[in-house]
Amino acid sequence: LFIEAPDASSSPTPIEELLSPRQQQVARAAIRRGPLGAIARELGISIDAVRIHLREVYRRLGVSSRIELAQLLRT
């Protein structure tokens, strides 16, 4: 999966280079629109950890919501 880097560079950047493996897992779980508690249980981490990972995913990908995240990852 390729996406445009948040700094609007001319070449697309693979999501694997922008996000850690755990951040990728959280991002995929988040776009399935599950509540944070369900994501935490699915991944075996705390709700606070989900929040932290999701905040960093948003920052690295330049999005501000799960809707934007889903649109970015599905394109």
Could you please report the per-residue DSSP string of 8-55?
A: --SS-EEHHHHS-HHHHHHHHHHHTT--HHHHHHHHTS-HHHHHHHHH
pLDDT at 64 over 80: yes
Summarised one tens digit per residue, pLDDT across range 25-34 is 999 999 987 8
Summarised one tens digit per residue, pLDDT across range 34-52 is 899 999 999 999 999 999 9
Mean pLDDT of the chain: 85
- Three-class secondary structure of residue 66 per DSSP: helix
Q: In terms of residues, how long is the chain?
A: 75
